[in-house]
Amino acid sequence: MSGMRLKIVMDEASVPLDASQEHRYREPFILVPSELTNVGELESHLQNKYDFLAAPNVLYLSVKGAVVDSKQPLAIFRDEDVVKVHIKKEGGPGSRDLSAMAGMRLRILMNEASVPLDATQEYQYRKIFILVPSELTNVGELKSYLQDKYDFLAAPNVLCLSVKGAVVPSEEPLTFIRDETVVRVHIRPQVAEEKGEAQTEVESDDEQSDATESDEDDDFTKTLDKVLDWFKKNSDAIARLRRPGSCQIMRIVSLVALISSVTIIFLLTDPLKSEWQTIAVVGALVFNFFVTFVVRY
């Protein structure tokens, strides 16, 4: 790594400097020693170089707002990269070593909605900066690599990666993703289970709907039977309406019954919704039919 230069920026929130240190050490420009091989060794080098970063302080580095794992190879940095130094308040990242040296770097963002992280994981893993191992060839292998590397993404979780809001299929080659691309990681919900639950809910709703419709049909049939039974029981009274003196009155009553039935049908949104409405409509229509029959014949 001889010749690589880095601009080191001390994080103002976690790296306090006094007045004499502020001008000299807030943003130093350093030459990386050739013997350093990974980010963890660079962190140790900075602690040895600057007393205010020394142990027991625990450091972590970030590039463009994304945390860089201490086990990442130093090749993840480019000449003149801006690297921010933070002092952790507790703990260190639990990560695994990367043996591969590859050229492509990715900014990995864990989707807040589907990838829950606890307080200790939030600042370490919500935004990370990784170097892609050279043996990976497609997006599916990258997802498997992330699941192996980070326990909170491990199986049985199913991952989905997106770039600029668009999902990247697993079979796409890694050359599809450019260097320093922001890749968002999502945990896909268990589609099969959700579909099964949704199907059960739909079937239950259908059964309830069928039961309601069946009850409404039964109510209408019962109401109609009651009306017809009344007319059967009062057939003698209907027969007396055939007398000539009653014709003019019956014509008026017939017209009123017809107007009433039509008014009820067209003015009510659902005329057969309740029993009294059903009786009014059916009774008016049947009465009009019988009166008209009596008057004419």
Digit-coded pLDDT (tens) for 160-218 = 999 988 888 988 888 888 888 899 999 988 654 444 444 444 444 444 445 444 555 55
Residue type present at position 106: L
Report the SS3 class of residue 188: strand
Rounded CA-CA distance 68/87 in Å is 13
Rounded CA-CA distance 152/125 in Å is 10
Q: Which residue reads 């409405």 in tokens?
A: 277
| Predicted pLDDT of residue 122 | 87
Sort 125 into a burial class: Cβ within 10 Å, 0-12 / 13-18 / 19+: buried
pLDDT more than 90, % of the chain? 29
| Predicted pLDDT of residue 278 | 63
